[in-house]
Amino acid sequence: MTDTLTALWAELEQIAFPSLTALFADSDRLARTVSTLDLADGAIRFDWSKTHLCAEAQAVLTRIAEHQNFADKRRQLFAGEPINTTEGRAAEHTAERGSGSPASVVEAEALHERTRALVEAIHDGLFGEVRSLIHIGIGGSALGPALAIDALTRDSARVAVHVVSNIDGCALEAAFRRCDPATTMIALASKTFTTTETLVNAASALDWLRAGGVDDVYGRVIALTADPDRAVAWGVDETRVLPFAQSVGGRYSLWSSIGFPIALALGYDGFAQMLDGGAVIDRHFLETPLADNAVVRAAFADLIYAQALRCQTRAVFAYDERLALLPSYLQQLEMESNGKRVTAQGAPLTRPSAPVTWGGVGTDAQHAVFQLLHQGTHLIPVDFIAVKVPGHDLDPAHHQILLSNCFAQGAALMAGQASDDGARAYPGNRPSATILIDDLTPAALGALIAFHEQRTFVSAVLLGINPFDQFGVELGKAIAKKIESGGGAGFDASTEALLALAGIG
Ligand code: F6P
C-alpha cells in the first residue's frame, strides 16, 4: 500500500465519530443520508441515517476513492474492460441488464432471447406437460435462482422449481419426493460445467427419470452454462443449451441464462422486469455524485465499520419471509468477492478485508440473536430490509406488527436506554441501515440485488482488491479430488484417522 493510502486509512481510523444521536442534531441528517430511488412500479428508500457516516468520514473516504481511481474503475466495469485482472477478463454482469458495452449488451440480449424462447416453448406445452423443474447448481448457480423464486413466486409459480445444490443426496431426494418424473424437467446450471456436486447430482437425476419410466432422459435436460461445448459433450442437446458469457462471474450470474428457472417460474416478462430493476441501480450508481449516491454511501458506511471501527461482522435481517434467502445470497456475494488477503496486484492486503456477513429474518431473529446486538460487546452494523405491501392476505395486523418491530429495533439500537442496573441498561449508539421497499416486485428485487453487487464493488475498489476471482475455493476442492481418486495418503494424523473411520480414500 502506498504511503498516501496508508495515511488516508489512518485518517479514517483517527476520526472521533460522533454518536448517532449527536449526528441527528443536524436537521439535514435525513437529506444527507436517505435516498429514494424510483422504479417502474414503486420505490425503494435507502436510509443510512442511523449509521456513523459523517461529513468528515465521507470526505476521507472520498479521497480514498479518488486515490484508488474509483471513477475510472467504475467506468471500466461498465465498459467491459478487463477489470478482473487476476483472470484477465471483464466482469460483465451489468451488460445482462443493459448497462454495459454496446457489443456485450447486444450479445446478452441475443442470449436472453434464447432463454425467452425456451421458457415460452415450455409454457406453451411444446415439451408436454411440465409441472416441475429440478434446478441443479451450486453457489452462484443456485443461490440467485433460489432467492428470486422464493421471493417472487411463492404461490404463483407457473412451473414449480426445486433448487438442489448440495452433494448430500438428501437434498436431491427431497426434490424427487415433490416431483413426478413424467412431468419434470431438469436444469443443469454450471458456469464451468465441471463442478462435481452438479455433475453427480445431474447423473442421479437422470437415473431417477429413467427409473420413473422416461425414455429419452436427455430430452428433459436444459443446460445453463458459459461452456456450451462441455454441456453438449455431457449429452445435452445444443438446442437446450442456454449459454452465457465467460465474463459474467458465477455469483453475479442470475441475470444471465442462470436466471432461466426464474423466468420459467415467474414468466419471462417478470424476469425482464428484474433486469430493468437492476439497471435502475446501475444508472444511479454510475450517474449520481458520490455524496448522494445510495450505493457509495452504503459502501462508505461498511468501510467505516470494517476498517475504522474494526467490526468483524455485519448482519442483515429481512423483515419479510419472502427474503429469507437474502442473507445466504449476500454471504456468497460479499464474502466470496471481498474475502481476500492480497490486493489486485498480489501485494499483501494490510487491512481487514470483507467482514463476515450473516443474518436471518425478523421477527424470528429478535427472539434468538438480538440480545447480542443490543447488549453484547461486539459492535455489529445491521441492515434491516422491509417491504410496505405484505406478501399475504391475512389480517393486516401481521404486517403492522412486523414493520413496527423492524423500525423499533433500529430505534432501540440507536437510542439505547440508561438504567442503574447494568444488566438492564442498553448502551445505544449501535448502527443500522433500513431499506424500505414499496412492493416486492421483480423490479424491486432486481434493484435490491444490484444495489448489493455495486456496494460490494465499491468496497473492493477502495481496498484495492479484485472482487471477481475466488481462488480461495480451489485448494479444498483439489484435496477432495485427490482423496476421491484414491490418493488420500500423507495427510495429517487427524485427517488420516477421519478418512479411515469413514472408510474413504
Ligand atoms: O467453488 C466456488 C464456485 O466456483 C463459485 O464461485 C460458483 O458460483 C460455484 O462454485 C459454482 O460454479 P459453477 O457454476 O461453475 O458450477
pLDDT tens-digit series, residues 421-445 = 999 999 999 999 999 999 999 999 9
Residue count of the chain: 505
The answer to whether residues 241 and 305 belong to one domain is: no
Among residues 378, 392, 398, 477, which one is catalytic? 477
Contact partners, residue 80, CB within 8 Å, separation at least 6: 90, 92, 95, 100, 101, 103, 104, 247
Q: Which of 246, 266, 286 is the last residue of a domain?
A: 266
pLDDT at position 174 is: 98
The answer to whether residues 458 and 494 belong to one domain is: no
pLDDT in tens, 224-265: 999 999 999 999 999 999 999 999 999 999 999 999 999 999
The answer to whether residues 305 and 446 belong to one domain is: yes
Q: Which residues of 117-130 are buried (b: 16+ CB within 10 A; e: fewer)?
A: ebbeebbeeebeeb
- DSSP annotation of 486 reads T
Is 67 marked active-site?
no
Is 367 marked active-site?
yes
The answer to whether residues 171 and 209 belong to one domain is: yes
Is 496 marked active-site?
no
- Give the helix, strand, coil percentages of the chain, each rounded to 5: 55, 15, 30
Beta bridge partners of 356: 313
In a domain, residue 425? The reply is yes
d(CA 344, CA 85): 7
Q: How many domains does the chain have?
A: 3
- State the angle between helix axes of 442-463 and 70-79 in degrees (0 to 180), rounded to the nearest 10: 130
Give the count of alpha carbons within 13 A of 154, CB side only: 13
Q: For position 251, which CATH number holds?
A: 3.40.50.10490
Among residues 92, 96, 197, 336, which one is catalytic? 336
The answer to whether residues 465 and 491 belong to one domain is: no
CA of 123 relative to ligand 1 center, distance in Å: 29
The answer to whether residues 426 and 356 belong to one domain is: yes
Task: List residues near ligand 1 (CB under 6 A).
Answer: 138-141, 190-192, 195, 198, 250-251, 336, 470, 473
Shortest-distance Cα residue to atom 2 of ligand 1: 473
pLDDT at position 1 is: 61
Range of the domain at 64: 3-90+274-469
The answer to whether residues 36 and 116 belong to one domain is: no
Q: What is the pLDDT along the chain (505 residues), one digit of tens a residue?
A: 677 999 999 999 999 999 999 999 999 999 999 999 999 999 999 999 999 999 999 999 999 999 999 999 999 999 999 999 999 999 999 999 999 999 999 999 999 999 999 999 999 999 999 999 999 999 999 999 999 999 999 888 999 999 999 999 999 999 999 999 999 999 999 999 999 999 999 999 999 999 999 999 999 999 999 999 999 999 999 999 999 999 999 999 999 999 999 999 999 999 999 999 999 999 999 999 999 999 999 999 999 999 999 999 999 999 999 999 999 999 999 999 999 999 999 999 999 999 999 999 999 999 999 999 999 999 999 999 999 999 999 999 999 999 999 999 999 999 999 999 999 999 999 999 999 999 999 999 999 999 999 999 999 999 999 999 999 999 999 999 988 888 767 899 999 999 999 998 7
Q: Which of 208, 234, 266 is the last residue of a domain?
A: 266
Cell of 282: 446501475
The answer to whether residues 110 and 254 belong to one domain is: yes
Ligand 1 atom showing the smallest separation from residue 251 Cα: 8
Shortest-distance Cα residue to atom 8 of ligand 1: 140
In a domain, residue 96? The reply is no
The answer to whether residues 256 and 115 belong to one domain is: yes
Ligand 1 pocket test, candidate residues 87, 164, 200, 470, most atoms within 8 A of CB:
470
CA of 252 relative to ligand 1 center, distance in Å: 11
The answer to whether residues 287 and 385 belong to one domain is: yes
In a domain, residue 95? The reply is no
Beta bridge partners of 386: 319, 436
CA of 138 relative to ligand 1 center, distance in Å: 6
